[in-house]
Structure 1
Amino acid sequence: MRASINRPPTPDADDDGEAEPTLQEIINIKLIESGEKEKLKELLRERLIECGWKDEMKAQCRAFTRKKGRSNVTVDELVHAITPKGRSSVPDSVKAELLQRIHSFLMSAAL
């Protein structure tokens, strides 16, 4: 069926406008509904503080602000500059622990 130049194509009758949620979306919904997502966030905060990651990121932010000048830095610039370093410097042990907790949750939720 060709679309008219003046109007968009008519949607198919079997399209109800709502797409099926992806597996990632379903997992996220289950994590939120069960309260597990907040527990995982708190665990992550604790582990990052324990391993010194938070202090390291704070130092990186301060160094970046000193270099650019305090009044010349926006939050967006700071986030853009620090995020790659922050993500890459999360210890593997913290990632593994969180992954294990998520895996256990998924097994218990039978997803």
Structure 2
Amino acid sequence: MADLQERKIKDAQMRATINQKLVETGERERLKELLRTRLVECGWRDQLKAHCKDIVQQKGLEHVTVDDLVAEITPKGRALVPDNVKKELLQRIRTFLSQQSNI
């Protein structure tokens, strides 16, 4: 049990270190912009926008909060991201990490 807890702590520390490097180098913003572009190109944004409209029409504008909407569309939004977009971002992150000597 202690090994599992130690592993979780090390994983969290590694994620924090990687995120810090991504932020410091500006790569995080470049990746976010790439993701935005790819999601628009594949129609993801339009699909999610249509899904939001459907939810609001079903429930009525006065019965939907932003938090409700986010909770409902988040799983669908994640599921709709094409695999090729996920793979491209993962490859970019791997390339970035391979270029970092101090991680």
TM-score, length basis structure 1: 0.80
Higher helix share: 2
User: Can you list the C-alpha shifts for 1:51-86, whole angstroms capped at 9, x where unaligned?
Assistant: 000000000000000000011100000000110010
Q: Provide the residue aligned with 2:19 in structure 1.
A: 28
Q: Provide the residue aligned with 1:44 in structure 2.
A: 35
Q: Distance in 2 between matches of 1:40 and 1:71?
A: 36
Q: Does 1:74 align with 2:65?
A: yes
Identity of aligned residues (%): 55
Relative contact order (alpha carbons < 8 A, sep ≥ 6): 1 or 2 greater?
Answer: 2
User: Can you list the C-alpha shifts for 1:21-40, whole angstroms capped at 9, x where unaligned?
Assistant: 70000000000000000000
TM-score, length basis structure 2: 0.87
Q: Provide the residue aligned with 1:60 in structure 2.
A: 51
Moved over 3 A (4+): none
What residue ranges of structure 1 are gaps of 5+ in the alignment? Answer: 1-18
Give the counterpart of 1:101 among 89, 92, 98.
92
Q: Which structure has the larger Rg?
A: 1
SS for the counterpart of 1:22 is: helix
What residue ranges of structure 2 are gaps of 5+ in the alignment? Answer: 1-8
